[in-house]
Amino acid sequence: MRHPAKPHGFVTKGIHWVSAALIGYGYFKGLDNPSQLADPALLQFEVIFALALGAVFVFRLFWTHKVGGRTRLPTDAPKWEHMASRAVHIGLYAAVFGIVLSGLGIALGYSVPAVGALTMWAMIGLHEITLALLPILLLAHIAGALWHKIIRRDGVLESMTGRLPV
């Protein structure tokens, strides 16, 4: 390995692993049925959780684009790696924002009777699709990280874990 990737900064790493923990917790605590939202305390908790997750991802988008810098994939990596990495990163953001926004829409529908049944159906559908897509994207993301660790040995995984490349 001639040029180990420059590590991501402390803030980028911090947000990355905090958001990973939030997502893990989100799936762990998941609801079995939207009718559980009839419980006002649970509804309130879900809204706060969605707002927090959304805020972390908006901040993260701002931070990596404007301050910390985006991918550490070496510039001379093959074009397909750049395309795959970008597609999966965009997909991860899209899935998380899809989950958060549709979740907030569902919560709004539970509180405001004016929201029609068709709108609720569409939002629950979007919520379910994005909730199913995210783990697939995460598997691709982790496979990519392992690809860089085992095959490329270019320090891309270590740029986010903070450990020295070996």
Binding site for ligand HEM (CB under 6 A): 12, 16, 19-20, 23, 60, 64, 71-73, 85, 89, 92-93, 96, 138, 141-142, 145, 156-157, 159-160
Nearer to ligand HEM, 89 or 104 (CB): 89
Least separation in angstroms between CB 111 and ligand HEM: 28
Using CB atoms within 10 Å of the CB of residue 140, give its burial: 0 to 12 exposed, 13 to 18 middle, 19+ buried.
Answer: middle
Nearer to ligand HEM, 16 or 119 (CB): 16
Nearer to ligand HEM, 47 or 157 (CB): 157
Nearer to ligand HEM, 23 or 107 (CB): 23
Least separation in angstroms between CB 132 and ligand HEM: 14
Q: Which residue is nearest to ligand HEM (CB)?
A: 71
Angle among Cα 9, 58, 98 to the nearest 5 degrees reads: 125
Go through the chain and tell me how many residues it has.
Answer: 166
Distance CA 100, CA 5 (A): 32
Least separation in angstroms between CB 89 and ligand HEM: 4
Least separation in angstroms between CB 141 and ligand HEM: 5
Least separation in angstroms between CB 33 and ligand HEM: 25
Widest distance between CA atoms in the chain:
61
The token pair that represents 67 in the structure block: 């301050």
Contact present, 155 and 5 (Cβ < 8 Å):
yes
Distance CA 144, CA 6 (A): 17
